[in-house]
Amino acid sequence: MEKIITTENAEKIYSEIKDLPIIDYHCHLSPKEIYENRIFGDLGEMWLAGDHYKWRLMRFYGIDEKYITGKETPMKEKYEKFVEAVSTAYGNPIQDWCALELDLVFGIKKRLCKENAEEIWNEANEKIKKDGLCPRKMFEMFNVEYVATTDDVCDSLEYHKLIREDKTLKTKVVPSFRVDKLVVFDENYPDYIKKLAAVSGIDIDSLDSFENAVRNRMDFFVQNGCKFSDVGIQGFPNIIAERKCAEEAFFKIINKKPLSADEAEGLQGYLFVFLGEEYAKRGMIMQLHLGAKRNSNTKMLATIGRDSGFDCVGSPLDINSVTNVLDKMYTDGNLPLTIVYTLNPTMYYELITMCGAFPGSVIGVPWWFCDHKKGIFELFETFSALGHIGALFGMLTDSRSFLSYVRHDYFRMILSEYLGRFGDGKDVIETAKKISYFNAAGHILK
């Protein structure tokens, strides 16, 4: 693993923050897996089951898909192919993450390569078996205090309820209100509205009844500990429809009549504002994940499905569209605390300065393709130049893997190296602590 901490200042800062609790306020962990707490089968399962970061790396290296997502391929064969790819992926953060995972979870300090792949496989699997490594052991090992999963508006939250009743779990696990399916008007939308009507117990025959159904679900989530919303659709609306136009557009949708592009975009803009204002009333934090191009490979989407590693960085968005939505909420007195992420770092200048125009808004930590050493440093430097680095909300995993908590350690090392440029005094250390833990804790745990 490439050495990240290179100065005495950085070493001192890191020593002060490395053992702080972890607040993972945005991830894709399965509440079902957390509740059932099954011991992992082997290292291959921990590394490769559902982790599309690693799947993409293997595809880049030219590995056949049967060794990546093939259902009939034994996990050990997938592991061997992954080792072949990652061992020479110099400069890729997955190589660093794997080194940290082997060290911090399994106590294995050897460099992963084809020559010792079998040895590491056996050592790690023995550790899994001997220590009974399972999801909750990962929480304990990394001192995870708070986990917010990503949950559809219509989710029953049955496993969240079971988790809450289980007094043996010290980590607080709560849902997040994910609204993608509410604001994307595809061919499945009418069926989704029927599902929303069923789970809310409200007949949806107008925009007014739709809004009441959404409020009903939002209250249900809040009752189950939800403090975050999230959206991660492709693009962003340039139009905010007036109420009457939004009503007419929604009526067309539920009656399966086609919308013009402007009608669809206007309704989407209206719903973004409606949702944001409802979040503000409930003290929820709004997350906007911007700049992704979803499902680029339509053949593989049809074959394997979503979230399988075929998304990519999208084009820069029109900053006016995002600004207009936040401005409408702020003008109406209902702008929630907002975290804005971008998958396209060319938008940092626009989005950071936009956040500075709306109190309570902040740029999010580097996300997805940007959460590597270079990408994290880029955000630190840009945000420091344009804003105040002490306002950063801190790291998250954005992951489906229970091993991904090493990324908080990775982030804290990079943060220490960056802040070490400015000394190792009390103020620098306090800033590092705020970014690593206390900024998020102050909003979530109060």
Per-residue DSSP letters for 38-76? PPP--HHHHHHTT-HHHHHHHHHTT--GGGTT-SSS-HH
Residue 1 lies in a domain: no
Q: Is the same domain home to 406 and 326?
A: yes
Residue 45 lies in a domain: yes
Domain boundary among 100, 133, 166: 133
Average pLDDT over all residues of the chain: 96
Q: Residue 312: which CATH number? A: 3.20.20.140
Q: What is the pLDDT of residues 158-176, one digit of tens each?
A: 999 999 999 899 999 999 9
Q: Is the same domain home to 263 and 286?
A: yes
Q: Residue 78: which CATH number? A: 1.10.2020.10
Q: Is the same domain home to 94 and 140?
A: no
Domain housing 146: 8-40+134-444
At 446, is the pLDDT very low, low, confident or very high (cuts 50, 70, 90)? Answer: low
Residue 243 lies in a domain: yes
CB 367 within 8 A of CB 317: no
pTM summary value: 0.96
Which of 259-268, 294-303, 362-371 bottoms out in mean pLDDT, i.e. has the lowest?
Answer: 294-303
Q: Is the same domain home to 204 and 91?
A: no
Count of structural domains within the chain: 2
Q: What is the pLDDT of residues 323-332, one digit of tens each?
A: 999 999 999 9
Residue 387 lies in a domain: yes
Q: How far apart are CA 134 and CA 116, in angstroms?
A: 25
Average pLDDT value for residue range 416-431: 97
Residue 400 lies in a domain: yes
Residue 64 lies in a domain: yes
Specify the pairing of strand 292-293 against strand 312-313.
antiparallel
Residue 348 lies in a domain: yes
Q: Is the same domain home to 26 and 66?
A: no
CB 48 within 8 A of CB 42: no
Residue 2 lies in a domain: no
Give residue 307's pLDDT.
Answer: 82
Q: Which two tokens stand for residue 81?
A: 């192919």
Q: Is the same domain home to 208 and 124?
A: no
Give residue 306's pLDDT.
Answer: 85
Domain boundary among 70, 100, 133: 133
Q: Is the same domain home to 387 and 418?
A: yes
Q: Is the same domain home to 72 and 208?
A: no
CA atoms within 13 A on the CB side of 347: 27
Q: What is the pLDDT of residues 175-208, one digit of tens each?
A: 999 999 999 999 999 999 999 999 999 999 999 9
Q: Is the same domain home to 314 and 167?
A: yes
CB 374 within 8 A of CB 339: no
Q: Is the same domain home to 21 and 76?
A: no
Domain boundary among 133, 151, 177: 133
Q: Is the same domain home to 286 and 383?
A: yes
Q: Is the same domain home to 262 and 277?
A: yes
Q: Could you tell me the CA-to-CA distances from 361 to 176, 283, 355, 370, 394 in Å, in that order?
A: 18, 14, 5, 20, 14
Average pLDDT value for residue range 299-309: 87
